[in-house]
């Protein structure tokens, strides 16, 4: 029973956090979940399916008897390009999500500050308690957007470098001479 209340308290804390930060936090959370879903998909692809795809492309190249003609060069470029296309899938979308997180946070800042100014217009600047809600709605989304972006930046850079290395590796192993 104690475990139930612990989980209930955690859910309550998350709900309170979303209430403090405003509705923009829901959009930041959805964007972050989508970004991490795409990141996990890329990590799984790179560790499980890509090695088979790269080996198949290398085997197809190695099976060619002639590798020096213009035609052979075009086939090599096609093989590298098709593997690269699979490697690059969703990478631009991940980078876009990373860039959008802080922008959504700033949107929350603007809406929170509008709320502060509304309170100041109605109650005057002498009521700090009524302004506190707007200030939290101005700062929490900014923080959440930055944390979400920072969580994706490092992994995005890692994925970009991994894709670059895999493409270079494939190009180096598909030699033109026999």
Please tell me the pTM assigned to this model.
0.81
Tell me what the mean pLDDT of segment 112-125 comes to. 75
Largest CA distance in the chain: 85
Contacts of 43 (CB under 8 A, 6+ apart): 155, 159
Other C-beta atoms lying within 10 Å of the C-beta of residue 25: 21
Tell me what the mean pLDDT of segment 147-152 comes to. 94
Q: Where are the domains of the chain?
A: 2-173
Q: What is the pLDDT of residue 174?
A: 84
Structure token digits, residue 47: 């560790």
| Mean predicted lDDT score pLDDT of the chain | 87
- Rounded to an integer, what distance in angstroms lies between the CA atom of residue 156 and that of residue 162? 10
Does pLDDT of 155 surpass 90? yes
Q: What is the pLDDT of residue 37?
A: 97
Q: What is the pLDDT of residue 6?
A: 63
Q: What is the pLDDT of residue 2?
A: 64
Q: What is the pLDDT of residue 33?
A: 96
Tell which residue, 63, 56, 64, has the closest CA to residue 80.
56
Categorise residue 76: left if φ over 0, alpha if ψ from -120 to 50, beta otherwise.
alpha
Looking at residue 176, what DSSP letter applies?
S
Does pLDDT of 158 surpass 80? yes
């Amino acid at each position: 029973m104690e475990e139930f209340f612990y989980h209930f308290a955690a859910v309550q804390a998350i709900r309170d956090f979303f209430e403090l930060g405003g509705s923009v936090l829901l959009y930041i959370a959805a964007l972050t979940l989508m970004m991490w879903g795409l990141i996990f998909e890329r990590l799984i692809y790179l560790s499980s399916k890509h090695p088979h795809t790269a080996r198949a492309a290398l085997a197809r190249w190695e099976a060619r008897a002639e590798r020096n003609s213009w035609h052979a060069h075009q086939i090599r470029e096609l093989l590298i390009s098709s593997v690269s296309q699979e490697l690059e899938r969703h990478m631009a979308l991940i980078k876009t999500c990373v860039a959008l997180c802080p922008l959504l946070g700033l949107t929350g800042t603007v809406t929170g500050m509008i709320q502060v100014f509304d309170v100041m217009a109605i109650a005057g600047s002498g009521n700090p308690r009524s302004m506190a809600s707007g200030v939290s709605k101005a700062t929490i989304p900014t923080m959440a957007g930055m944390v979400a972006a920072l969580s994706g930046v490092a992994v995005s850079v890692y994925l970009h470098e991994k894709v670059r290395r895999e493409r270079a590796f494939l190009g180096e192993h598909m030699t033109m001479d026999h």
